[in-house]
């Protein structure tokens, strides 16, 4: 490893994060650690088109380099093209969060002098600053954050919190384009989507929540991507009323801005939960088969709702009755503690 490279003044750093939305948000803590160590070194983040809008709202990221690479194939031409793109930036260091050997290929082909990552999947040679002990770290943030510290350094007890900042002017323009208003009544954003069995709170429960909120005079926005379009349609059919709006779509930017404008968010354990928490919108997170102590956002949640029984991997959000969440939401909207 060329140790001198990390001391080069102004030498940019490339972060290669996980491309799931929630994990991508977590990695903003890593950006902050790098900034604290090397204030003079710009930090770029490799991203896919799904997560790319987040880079525009995360302080400290100079740019996101959007490049969609297939998960189950190895198109060498695409990796070489990405390497040529990376080489133009003259990076001094790359932090590769993923353990796959493919994730280290483009930084290697780009000739980035220092390539840091945990050992795994035959990456000796592709990485030249190899770290060990990943499996002993319980939280993903500890795994990712360790790569931003010197080798062998004691992990921080507290990591800097992810941060998403949306300019007010952008929110105002977005509301106007959408024909929406804010301030007249509380806005509650619902994020009914999630990846993985047992993580989706039943759609009928979201519908019951939306119906009650509308009856109470609140405005309800349903957020998500294309896969949540049908969930939103089911909620609308069951909740009805003019106060419930389907804002699902193809652009993550819409959900980011909507969460900034909302007064409260209710989400499954999903990427939108991490975005909402990083924005600072009071967020009620619904957990089932995942342990919120390990997989919840670093940013504080307004409330964590999980099944009554002790944590087990076979727990499901379906065990949480609608009335329990409705009561918590109503309590928060009244300004009291749940």
CA distance 75 to 199: 33
Contact call for residues 60 and 31 (beta carbons, < 8 A): yes
Residue 88 corresponds to which tokens in the numbers above?
């133009």
Per-residue pLDDT tens for 5-15? 445 778 999 99
Q: What is the pLDDT of residue 181?
A: 87
Statement: residue 3 has pLDDT above 70 = no
Helix (H) or strand (E) holding 66: strand 61-66
* Structure confidence by residue, pLDDT tens digits, 52-61: 999 999 999 9
In contact, 305 and 324? CB cutoff 8 Å: yes
Residue 93 and residue 200 in contact, taking contact as beta carbons nearer than 8 Å: no
pLDDT per residue over 71-92, tens digit each? 777 789 999 999 999 999 999 9
DSSP 190: E
What H or E segment, with its residue span, contains residue 55? Answer: helix 52-55
More confident call, 6 vs 315: 315
Residues 267 and 285: beta-carbon distance below 8 Å: yes
**What domains does the chain contain, in order, with CATH numbers?**
3-146 (3.40.50.2000), 168-333 (3.40.50.2000)
pLDDT (average), residues 149-162: 94
Sign of CA pseudo-dihedral 276, 278, 284, 288: positive
């Amino acid at each position: 490893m060329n140790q001198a490279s990390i001391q080069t003044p102004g030498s940019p750093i490339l972060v290669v994060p996980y491309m799931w939305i929630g994990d991508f948000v977590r990695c903003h803590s890593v950006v902050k650690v790098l900034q604290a160590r090397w204030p003079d070194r710009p930090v770029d983040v490799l991203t896919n088109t799904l997560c790319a809008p987040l880079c525009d709202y995360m302080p400290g990221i100079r740019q996101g380099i959007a490049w969609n690479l297939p998960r189950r194939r190895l198109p060498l031409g695409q990796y070489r093209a990405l390497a040529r793109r990376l080489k133009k930036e003259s990076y001094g260091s790359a932090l590769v969060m993923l353990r796959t050997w493919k994730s280290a290929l483009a930084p290697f082909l780009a000739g980035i002098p220092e390539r840091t990552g945990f050992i795994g999947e035959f990456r000796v040679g592709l990485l030249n600053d190899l770290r060990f002990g990943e499996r002993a770290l319980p939280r993903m943030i500890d795994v990712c954050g360790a790569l931003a510290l010197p080798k062998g350094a004691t992990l921080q007890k507290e990591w800097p919190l992810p941060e998403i900042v949306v300019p007010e002017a952008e929110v105002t323009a977005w509301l106007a384009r959408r024909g929406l208003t804010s301030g007249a009544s509380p806005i509650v954003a619902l994020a009914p989507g999630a990846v993985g069995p047992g993580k989706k709170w039943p759609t009928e429960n979201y519908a019951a929540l939306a119906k009650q909120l509308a009856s109470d005079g609140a405005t309800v926005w349903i957020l998500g991507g294309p896969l949540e379009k049908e969930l939103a349609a089911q909620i609308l059919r069951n909740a009805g009323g003019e106060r419930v709006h389907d804002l699902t779509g193809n652009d993550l930017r819409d959900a980011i801005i909507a969460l900034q404008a909302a007064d409260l968010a209710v989400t499954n354990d999903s990427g939108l939960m991490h975005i909402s928490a990083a924005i600072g919108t009071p967020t009620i997170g619904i957990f089932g088969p995942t342990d919120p102590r390990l997989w919840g956002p670093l940013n504080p949640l307004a409330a964590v709702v999980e099944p009554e029984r002790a944590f087990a991997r076979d727990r499901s959000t379906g065990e949480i009755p609608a009335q329990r969440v409705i009561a918590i939401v109503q309590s928060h909207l009244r300004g009291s503690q749940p």
